Amino acid sequence: MFSKALSCELLWDAAVSGAVSERQRWILSTMQKCGPELVTMLWRILGNEQDVCDAYQDTFLQLAHFEGGRKPDHVKAYVFRTASNIAVSMLRRRTAEKNRLAGPIAKTEAIGSPATEMDCDYLQEALRRRIAQLPEQLRNVVTLRDLAELSYAQVGRILGISAGTARVYRCKAIQLLSMWMSREVGPAIPGGK
């Protein structure tokens, strides 16, 4: 999966390199520096090759059009925050579309089935939905720390907070996610409440 996304990234890099003006070469440099970490984060959030490629492309298109082509002061922070916002928006749209198409009866049957509740894909999708529902500062910390695998110091620099604050936000986010997930799948797990 990751190699497919990486090849998507390389194709995008090659296609764009000829079209970028000299004054925007910094965008290509940013793509090369942040690309692998960004693809990893997007894979963990979205879990779908096409969505990862779309989010990656949208991120760098937004970067290229930032205030008329001006370079942001904190490029890496801008790229990761933009990518996580795009990915969360994609998840929200996907969830809304599924809910709209499934209807209330199908939704109840899918949740009530023990086979579905224990299905790994179901649990991953449920966790992605719950991460998207976190308050923005908690969601940003979880996205950068757990999905992008950045250190607390890096997370703090990107978000403009201290590493200690990032730890506290992550702790609060994990507690919320744990509570929400135990309510959603608790009865299907032996010993769950």
Domain ranges across the chain: 1-105, 113-193
Give yes or no for residue 172 having a pLDDT over 60: yes
Confidence check: pLDDT of 3 > 70? no
Model confidence pLDDT, tens digit, residues 14-25:
555 555 566 677
**Cα-Cα end-to-end distance for the chain:** 35
Give the separation between CA 46 and CA 129, rounded to whole angstroms: 10
Domain 113-193 indexed as CATH 1.10.150.110: no
The string of pLDDT tens digits covering residues 80-93 is 889 999 988 888 88
- Phi and psi based region of residue 65 (left: phi greater than 0; alpha: psi -120 to 50; beta: remaining): alpha
pLDDT higher than 90, residue 162: yes
Cα-based torsion angle of the residue sequence 8, 14, 18, 23 in order, rounded to the nearest 10 degrees? 80
pLDDT at 153: 92
Is residue 191 very low, low, confident or very high in pLDDT (cuts 50, 70, 90)? Answer: very low
CA R_g for the chain: 18
DSSP string, 69-81: GPPPSSHHHHHHH
| CA nearest neighbour of 88 among 147, 35, 162 | 147
Q: Please, what is the angle between helix 25-46 and helix 120-133, to 10°?
A: 120
32-75 per-position pLDDT tens digit: 888 888 888 888 888 888 889 999 989 888 888 887 777 888 88
Residue 165 has pLDDT above 90, yes or no: yes
